Every structure is written in structure tokens, then in C-alpha cells.
Amino acid sequence: MPPGAPSTTGFDFAATLDAARLGDDRALAALWLELQPSLLRYLRVGDPDAAEDIASDTWLEVTRRLDRFTGGEREFRGWLFTIARHRLIDARRRAARHRTAPVAWLPDRPGGDDPAADVLGDISTQASLRLVSELPPEQAEAVRLRVMVGLDTGEVAQIMGKQPGNVRVLSHRGLRNLARRFTMMGIAHSVS
């Protein structure tokens, strides 16, 4: 579900976040249930165990600092994915020092509710992962956060430490690169 979109399950994010901030373990578990799937899609690095470990580290950091967090749903999602991004960068650095196999940088399936995700839906998940992981790292990250996680440009810019215009350019270039690759593979699809 894209940030800021009304919940179709009746989940009251604001009330749940407030309760979690006050130490309610059930509220924290509800936040985890709501956000863990998109977090895992973002963190998927080819090895499902690594994504789970990074997600665990992310949630551990969230629990340590949640009482100091201020803001609403959009800010919380941005904060969560910023923490996750830092943990992912740390994991990549560790993997680069001890690399034994190539690392895929993408989740195992595209997100919904975004027309750009249709580009990734036209080919198999494995081929999608391979193609997006072949993009330049910043383009791949922008596509993952915008298309697969469903964050808006401002949130992605904050997470990546870039200006919103730069994120739009990275996303656009990444999607155009994917469209060109699809064309080379014989898959007709337009991305503008």
C-alpha cells in the first residue's frame, strides 16, 4: 500500500503508532505486520536469510529509538526505510569485504498500485531481478524504493540523501534503461 493511502483493512496507523510509542508491544507487532512485507521486498539481496537479518536489525533499532520518534505515518515510513537503508549499506560493505557470490540488490517481486510496476510485471520475477540489479546502483535503488516499495519522490529523496529532482531523474533513467532492455528482449512496453 503506498504511503498515505487509506487502509483497506481498517488499520488505524496513527493510533497504532501512538500506542507503540508509548510501549504497547501489540501495537509494535501491528506496525511490523503492516510494514514488514514491503521492508523485506526492499531489503531482498538475493539471499532471503540476509534480508530477514537486516530487517530484524532495522526493527531492533526502531524499538530502541521509537520513544523519541516524532511524526505521523509518512514520517515513520520514511524513518523506517532510512534505518533499513543504512543497515543494507552496512551489509553490502560487509559482503564486499567477504564476497563469495554475486549479490542481487532487488526484492523478489514488484509492488502494486504504481503503473511503473507494470514494466516489471511483464517478465518473470527472476528476469526482473536480474535486469534491475544490472542498473547503476543509484538507479536500481531509486526504482526499488519508488516502484517496489511505493514511496513518493520526497520520501525517496530523504532516504537517499538526494534532491527530489535527482530522484525523479534516477527513477526515470532506470525505468528507461529497463524499457530499452525489454525491447532488446522482444518485450514491447513503453515507459515515459
Proportion of the chain above pLDDT 70, given as a percent: 71
- Grid cell digits, residue 128: 526482473
* Same fold flag, 13-97 and 117-184: no
* CATH architecture of the domain formed by 13-97: Orthogonal Bundle (1.10)
Proportion of the chain above pLDDT 90, given as a percent: 29
Q: What is the C-alpha separation between 189 and 183, in angstroms, rounded? A: 7
Q: What is the C-alpha separation between 192 and 176, in angstroms, rounded? A: 7
| Domains of the chain, residue spans | 13-97, 117-184
CATH class of 117-184: mainly alpha
Average pLDDT over residues 50-55: 88
Q: What is the C-alpha separation between 133 and 163, in angstroms, rounded? A: 23
Is the model's pLDDT at 174 over the cut of 90?
no
Q: What is the C-alpha separation between 58 and 35, in angstroms, rounded? A: 12
* pLDDT at residue 186, as a whole number: 66
Angle, alpha carbons 148-146-165 (nearest 5°) = 165
Average pLDDT over residues 11-20: 92
Write the pLDDT tens digit of every residue in 129-161. Answer: 677 778 888 888 888 888 877 888 898 899 899
> DSSP letters of 131-179?
HHHTS-HHHHHHHIIIIII---HHHHHHHHTS-HHHHHHHHHHHHHHHH
